Structure 1
């Protein structure tokens, strides 16, 4: 990748949001993952990434909702999610299908963690819009639920999605993370992400999350690369500029 190579430096450690009785004044971080690897990963200090997610759910075992619309509600993918969260012992876990029942909607309204599964960005987004889950997820985020996007789910939490192989057909998505997101497309040098950023005009920003990596977007606007460096693309007057955002640990090397 061409362009300057940069790193973020050490990310300030946030206090444990479960301490104290005061309600959170801002939403939890967004956890954007390229794939499911980080759900099973521990860093060099033995800290499991899944525990970082659980830390924002409050005391007690969290309720977890899995939205599988992007992958066609395939049970095998839900099983991977169940295995990943076994360590945090959710009190309840439920797979929410593309066409949710009243009971499914009620569960999402009580969920502490909402995971948006990988698969087809376009298929999943259309399902969320048709079912009304688009508004439900955004509302729950504002109310304090922790959102985790995996692959297509990570893309949907950004500002734009597109059908596979068709960046010219990009459409708006949640935009809870204020940049365009793409996942595990490093072998093609983020060509589709680059095309979407270019089309959105000067000032547009894109972040590519490589395989096995993740991005934590904090409510104060802080970005944190997890495990692997992120590709950053920004549309300037002279064209798309590229850079690399390293995980905090790499900044110390």
Structure 2
């Protein structure tokens, strides 16, 4: 398998982008948790840069909460992150109505919430959301996966504590992904990559960090280093993939609101 190309430059979400970027110009965004949704750096608010990719003006933002059981407080957190943007926000529940599905199919930004990877994925398959999200990606919507949502954008998920039961997910990002598991040194991600011995690459996204997967196949760390995991001949190896800017890697960057 050809390894990913690593892009170590400053993440370029604003500035030289066209006013109305085409679908092929939009990265996928994978976040370890919701911290980046409230993060500012020298380039401004992270969510403002996501909004630029969603069209730069008024847009619809769909929040998929099936992975956390549609808990309203997490949707309220998403609404707080979107404050100040010209965004119409709506929670799309695990069992969506026809109105919910119509909103999702017109959304410029789709956020996949954290929670239980398998719980959310099962709901997406049953409801038709799986196909609708894939279609929105093809049509150019900005997809943002948070924690479990980040895993779901990758190749496979697994029940917590049981990587022997891998199940296929969207695969829009051609890697295995795990989030905020640095305390156990990415044990489950290592096991999942080892199960694909030589056929898959894994990326661990630490707390407060994120990853952009660009249309040209490059992987870009956001704010904190990523952990790259590979396996061959029964051995697992890891490497750090660093952000280009010390400011991005600074856990106490000016303007960040936890």
- Is the TM value for this pair above 0.5? yes
Give SS of 2:136's match.
helix
Match in the other structure for 1:243: 239
Change (3 A) 1:124 1:252: closer
Counterpart for residue 252 of structure 2? none
Matched, 1:216 2:212: yes
* Runs of 4 or more above 6 Å deviation: none
Show CA shifts across 1:81-101 (max 9, x none): 0000113231x1110000000
Q: Which residue of 2 aligns with 1:26?
A: 24
Q: Unmatched 5+ residue regions in structure 1?
A: 1-6
Distance 1:144 1:118 in 2: 22
CA distance in 1, matches of 2:17, 2:74: 30
Q: Does 1:199 pair with 2:195?
A: yes
Q: CA RMSD in A?
A: 2.0
For residues 116 and 251 of structure 1, do their structure 2 counterparts lie closer, same or farther at Cα, with a shift above 3 Å needed? closer
Give 1:234's aligned residue. 230
Q: How does 1:55-94 map to 2 (within 5 A)?
A: 55-90=52-87, 92-94=88-90
**What CA distance in whole angstroms lies between the structure 2 residues aligned with 1:27 and 1:139?**
16
Aligned length: 243
TM-score between the two structures when normalised by the length of structure 1: 0.90
2:40 alignment partner, one of 28, 42, 49: 42
Whole-angstrom CA distance in 2 between matches of 1:25 and 1:63: 16
Unaligned runs of 5+ in 2: 1-5, 250-258
TM-score, reference length from structure 2: 0.89
SS in 2 for 1:225: strand
- Distance between the aligned counterparts of 1:25 and 1:124, measured in 2? 26
